[in-house]
Amino acid sequence: MTGRELRLAGLLAVGLLAATVVAPMTVDARPAFEIPVHYATDGDSLDRVDGEEWGRAPPVTVPMSSAGAAVPSADNTTVEQIQVSAARTDDRLYLQVEWADPTNDTSAASVREFADAVAVQLPTDPAERPPIAMGGTDNTVNVWYWSGSGQTQELLAGGPGSTTQFRNGTVATNYTHTDGRWEVVFSRSLSAPGENRTTVPSDRDVDVAFAAWNGSNMERSGQKSTSQWYYLALGPGPEGPPYEAILWAIAGIGIVVTTLVTVQGVRRTGGD
């Protein structure tokens, strides 16, 4: 191989190496319905909406649609998507939920006022997938509910209309409404602090779903936007940017090797 060919091959290798760094930032190879979970040691940072650790947790856009419940105006909902980021420490799970809402509805003082709200739904038994609409009689869900009024509740549900509030809620929240967007951070210990609550596994994936209400649109109860089941990627396996980078690197090396072999073959045969 001549010096010129070596220089060309070197430039090609450098270009492909750069592609392994840039391409994962522009191409999302994440499995459908996966929410990556960032592992962190600084729980104090994750407690805050603007904590630095949240910059390391890749957000996932989750489409929302009307829950279709049998209540008046059930289809009249306005939250079309939310963004979800997830993180964990050795003993605690954190979920940050963001969505656009120009109106900051925090009061429910009268019968015609409703606060904005968002909820997280987890299977009580992480090994099972309950019915998406608030679980079922034999397959319950653990719900974390936050309201713009500042209220946070931890709930148990076994189907629509069966919601029961735990006496001692253990879910902590932090939130802000800035530039027409809500940002709400939920957190709770991985271990279940009592019966009928989800023990969040640290070695396997767990399903999760979301709901949101726009108070100024009179949304409350079953008039809400909901997601499909997603899953928190807590288990072992390939997920996130490191996995994508490895794939791109392997592909780049393969292309370089193929190119070099082709160049060498053409040189030997003289192009015949």
Q: What is the pLDDT of residues 43-80, one digit of tens each?
A: 999 999 999 999 999 999 999 999 988 888 899 999 99
pLDDT band (50, 70, 90) for residue 184: very high
Q: What is the mean pLDDT of residues 212-237?
A: 94
From CA 224, how far away is CA 227, in angstroms rounded? Answer: 10
Q: What is the mean pLDDT of residues 189-214?
A: 94
Measured in whole angstroms, the distance separating CA 180 from the mean position of its chain's CA atoms is: 21
Q: What is the mean pLDDT of residues 213-226?
A: 96
Read off the pTM. 0.78
From CA 223, how far away is CA 210, in angstroms rounded? Answer: 14
pLDDT band (50, 70, 90) for residue 239: very low
Q: What is the mean pLDDT of residues 106-123?
A: 94
Backbone angles phi, psi at 201, to 5 degrees: -70, 150
Distances (CA, A) of 58 to 39, 61, 217: 12, 10, 30
Q: Which amino acid is at 237?
A: G
Cβ contact 68:84 at 8 Å:
no
